[in-house]
A and B are shown apart, each in its own frame.
Chain A
Amino acid sequence: NAGVTQTPKFQVLKTGQSMTLQCAQDMNHEYMSWYRQDPGMGLRLIHYSVGAGITDQGEVPNGYNVSRSTTEDFPLRLLSAAPSQTSVYFCASRTSGNSPLHFGNGTRLTVT
């Protein structure tokens, strides 16, 4: 089982560059989400989706875009990278109810 797959694992960007973090899951989960993890801040929700064609904002959505054209994929786009977006990004998915979140292994992003 692949579970949740994130690419790339590491990325360095210059301020102002754009890029897309990829996330794919093969568990047919309706719910997918993106978090960023910074020291002392836990995991903060950026955007989430409860199904194909449906997305919504989390706690820290500014500077990020998402789309959900298929159940499997949920890419996160940085339109114009800023040093404040240096972080570790996690994609996660789950079914409904009290089911657990399944996480990818993260993407470590550095913006210089």
Chain B
Amino acid sequence: TQLLEQSPQFLSIQEGENLTVYCNSSSVFSSLQWYRQEPGEGPVLLVTVVTGGEVKKLKRLTFQFGDARKDSSLHITAAQPGDTGLYLCAAIAGGTSYGKLTFGQGTILTVHP
């Protein structure tokens, strides 16, 4: 059973479109992280959200942590080909701040010029 459920698994869109990726769970988390991975490399952290209801912006990327700290979303405005990659959400289970980090299945995003 996957602790974190990401959707959709695949997204193929045209440059300029908007998109949202979801990360859901039945568990409560002390924090949730979003990573981006490019082919042949390890994932790189985009953002960490800690407070329920928190919204963080990173240029055209907007991250939201659910009020109950069980879910999160990543919204990309006016997607560009450089946004292409694998997006992963990750969280530490059990409400602890120092423990094993579990990842969702990932969303493969392809942005066509």
Contacts and interface: CB of A to CB of B under 8 A. Distances in A.
A104 B98 contact: no
Contacts of A42: 2, 6, 88, 103-106
Contact of B33 (A4, A40, A58, A100): A100
A92 B9 CA distance: 24
Given A90-B42, A100-B48, A48 B100 contact: yes
Nearest to B101: A101
A52 interface: no
Given A4-B42, A105-B42, 5 more contacts: A42-B2, A42-B88, A44-B103, A92-B42, A101-B43
B105 A98 contact: no
Nearest to B97: A97
Interface of B: 2, 6, 9, 30-31, 33, 35, 40-45, 48, 50, 88, 90, 97-106
Interface of A: 4, 31, 33, 35, 40-45, 48, 50, 56, 58-59, 90, 92, 94, 96-98, 100-101, 103-106
Contacts of B101: 33, 45, 94, 101
B43 A43 contact: yes
Contacts of A44: 103
Contact of A98 (B6, B44, B50): B50
Nearest to B49: A98
Given A98-B48, A98-B50, A100-B33, A45 B102 contact: yes
A103 B101 CA distance: 13
A103 B9 CA distance: 22
Contacts of B43: 43, 90, 101, 103
